[in-house]
Amino acid sequence: MEKENQVTKENFTESMDAQFALPSKDWTQYAPLTLAYIGDAAYELVVRSIFVKRHDIQPQKLHQKVTRCVSARAQANMMEVLLPELTVQEAAVYRRGRNSKPYTKAKNATLGEYLVATGFEAVMGYLYLEGAFERMNELIEKGLAALKVM
């Protein structure tokens, strides 16, 4: 019975695609800032889920913990460790994101950190849209370990 309630990579994405009549696409062809847009949300949702499931604390304290992981500076620091781990395709998506021309800038990070973080978010967005959740979680786990927040 419990197995029926578990959402797998296949049935989560297939369910969403079917419910909303979403087409399959080549996500490598999407604009890097579009990938970063969805990647920012997907990454933050994973981090929030981790902290909520590990800590039964006030939302304000959860927010403080999560913020340390999702800032541009934290994402840039994570990329130092993750860059050698990326596949050829992931590295190409990262470079496109890092080399993009964002219309905004980070409040508490340098332009260089912000661009590296944009590359990181583009990779997260690409993996999310591909339905490569195991790979996404693997990279997030290594990145969070590098931040020493877990």
For residue range 70-100, what is the model confidence (pLDDT) as tens digits? 999 999 999 999 999 999 999 999 999 999 9
Known catalytic residues?
40
Q: What is the pLDDT of residue 35?
A: 97
Q: What is the pLDDT of residue 16?
A: 87
Q: Which residues of the chain have pLDDT under 50?
A: 1-2
Q: What is the pLDDT of residue 17?
A: 87
The b/e string for 75-108 (b: 16+ C-beta within 10 A; e otherwise) is: bbbbbeebeeebeeebeebbebbbebeeeeebee
Give the integer Cα–Cα distance in Å for 102 and 34: 11
Distance of alpha carbon 65 from the chain centroid? 17
The pTM of the whole model exceeds 0.85: yes
Q: What is the pLDDT of residue 106?
A: 78
